[in-house]
């Protein structure tokens, strides 16, 4: 009796698979866009840093066989603007590494997913040898984590900080930072910050394993952040400018580790690398300011919040690092000149705070004295009583006022 029952189930499952197979094969192909000719280049550039073999996302999108079963989910993610996860809205400001898809790229992906996911003419997109060089050239300093860190078998996510072995002779100007994960499949993000308080060194010394566990230690709040790296991003180098690393400061690397299902239950080691590029001591110093809501009337009524900040001198805006919590559903900054003219600075329509990164403006934006930076944010309703979970760290250069030649 039991056996017969089992047979029945097996038979049903087989029929179900057959039906699925048949319907799939007969799904009409209406898309004029194909995987190899139209979709692949988009996946390669906008998704491939994470969705390739052994990278941080759970599946590759770089072969037809791996990608097409995900078509419906891909469509949802791109239409909802949740993938790719770092994205300033296209057309609202212009940035160095555009993460977001253009309207045309969105069209292509959606039509392909809706229209039967045609493969097109099979093409061998040979990625070539993996590049093992630093994209900005030979670094001034390469810093490696002193020892590998082991993510235990029963831990699937961790935020770990490591004090990096930087021994500078004195105050140092850094014009660029690049990062290379030791084990790309588990490193979700990397932040390098400057600790002047000694807190990180003390915490590291107190923990017998390499580094120490902390979500956000005190010294990170307000610290100068030298880089906020996400997988697939190329480093950006400043020209004739740099971030100051004062004498005696510690450089601390904050890594977020997360295993994809392929690594669940396994112990995985990581030993990541940093490349630092020094600038001449005399170059312009980047200043970071935090654009945040006034602490006074902090109560936010309703889901819409706005605040602004007035500039009392001429500045060139280089980059924006959003500091958001999950309650922020959408944020934007506009620059309003004295004459009322508005310039879009940045908009994140579906921000994902766990993918925190710095957005580099394509060209520095000149903000003249008297300009107001206006922030508008939409919050999850009922969130953040008296605490607005939105601020931005802006990297700026003071505009050099030409001085008369001394005689």
The closest of 390, 379, 280 to 327, measured between CA atoms, is: 379
Quote the least distance from Cβ 97 to ligand HEC, whole Å.
Answer: 10
Tokens 């006034």, residue located: 294
What is the side-by-side order of every strand in the sheet holding 273-279? Answer: 141-144, 273-279, 172-180, 241-245, 284-285
**Cα 387 from Cα 402, distance rounded (Å):** 42
Maximum CA extent, the chain:
107
Can you list the alpha helix ranges (DSSP code H) found in 80-156? 103-114
Quote the least distance from Cβ 379 to ligand HEC, whole Å.
Answer: 22
CA dist 179 → 31, 241, 315, 336 (Å): 39, 20, 29, 36
The closest of 283, 238, 4 to 136, measured between CA atoms, is: 238
Closest CB to ligand HEC among residues 84, 389: 84
**Cα 47 from Cα 100, distance rounded (Å):** 10
CB-based contacts of 266, cutoff 8 Å, min separation 6: 153, 259
Closest CB to ligand HEC among residues 42, 192: 42
Closest CB to ligand HEC among residues 73, 368: 73
Closest CB to ligand HEC among residues 190, 230: 230
Closest CB to ligand HEC among residues 175, 188: 188
CA dist 252 → 204, 278, 304, 353 (Å): 10, 17, 36, 20
**Cα 268 from Cα 387, distance rounded (Å):** 38
389 contacts 325 by C-beta, under 8 angstroms: yes
Closest CB to ligand HEC among residues 262, 306: 262
Quote the least distance from Cβ 259 to ligand HEC, whole Å.
Answer: 10
List of residues contacting ligand HEC (CB under 6 A): 46-47, 49-51, 56-58, 70, 73-74, 77-78, 83-85, 101, 230-232
Quote the least distance from Cβ 119 to ligand HEC, whole Å.
Answer: 17
Output helix, strand, coil percentages for the chain, rounded to the nearest 5.
Answer: 20, 35, 50
Quote the least distance from Cβ 357 to ligand HEC, whole Å.
Answer: 9
Closest CB to ligand HEC among residues 115, 210: 115
Quote the least distance from Cβ 81 to ligand HEC, whole Å.
Answer: 10
**Cα 193 from Cα 321, distance rounded (Å):** 13
Quote the least distance from Cβ 201 to ligand HEC, whole Å.
Answer: 30
CA dist 345 → 47, 140, 260, 336, 357 (Å): 24, 33, 35, 10, 16
Closest CB to ligand HEC among residues 49, 389: 49
Burial class (CB in 10 A: 0-12, 13-18, 19+), 403: exposed
Quote the least distance from Cβ 7 to ligand HEC, whole Å.
Answer: 34
Closest CB to ligand HEC among residues 66, 287: 66
């Amino acid at each position: 009796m039991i056996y017969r029952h089992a047979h029945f189930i097996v038979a049903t499952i087989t029929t179900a698979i057959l039906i699925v197979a048949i319907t799939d094969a007969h799904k009409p192909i209406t898309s004029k866009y194909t995987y190899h000719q139209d979709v692949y280049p988009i996946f390669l550039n906008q998704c491939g840093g994470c969705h390739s073999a052994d990278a941080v996302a759970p599946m590759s999108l770089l072969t037809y066989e791996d990608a097409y079963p995900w078509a419906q989910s891909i469509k949802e993610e791109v239409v909802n603007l949740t993938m790719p996860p770092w994205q300033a809205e296209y057309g609202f400001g212009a940035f160095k590494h555009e993460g977001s898809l253009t309207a045309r790229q969105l069209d292509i992906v959606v039509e392909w997913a809706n229209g039967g996911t045609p493969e097109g003419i099979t093409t061998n997109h040979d990625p070539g040898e993996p590049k093992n060089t630093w994209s900005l050239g030979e670094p001034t300093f390469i810093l490696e984590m002193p020892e590998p860190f082991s993510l235990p078998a029963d831990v699937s996510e961790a935020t770990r900080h490591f004090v990096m072995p930087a021994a500078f002779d004195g105050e140092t100007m850094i014009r660029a930072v690049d990062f290379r994960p030791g084990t790309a499949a588990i490193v979700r993000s990397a932040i390098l910050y400057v600790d002047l308080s000694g807190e990180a060194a003390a915490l590291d010394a107190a923990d017998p394993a390499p580094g120490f566990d902390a979500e956000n230690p005190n010294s990170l709040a307000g610290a100068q952040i030298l880089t906020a790296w996400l997988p697939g991003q190329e480093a950006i180098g400043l020209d004739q400018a740099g971030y100051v690393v004062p004498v005696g400061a510690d450089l601390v690397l904050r890594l977020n580790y997360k295993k994809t299902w392929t690594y669940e239950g396994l112990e995985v080691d990581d030993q990541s690398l940093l490349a630092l590029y020094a600038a001449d001591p005399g170059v312009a110093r980047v200043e970071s300011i935090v654009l945040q809501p006034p602490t006074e009337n902090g109560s936010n009524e309703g889901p819409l919040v706005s605040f602004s900040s007035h500039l009392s001198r001429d500045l060139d805006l280089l980059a924006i690092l959003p500091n958001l919590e999950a309650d922020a559903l959408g944020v934007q900054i506009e620059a309003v000149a004295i004459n009322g003219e508005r310039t879009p600075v940045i908009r994140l329509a579906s921000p994902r705070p766990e993918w925190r990164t710095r957005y580099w403006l394509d060209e520095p934006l000149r903000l003249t004295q008297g300009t107001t930076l206006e922030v508008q944010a939409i919050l999850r309703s009922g969130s953040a009583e008296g605490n607005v979970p939105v601020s931005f760290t802006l990297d700026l250069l003071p505009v050099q006022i030409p001085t008369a030649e001394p005689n």
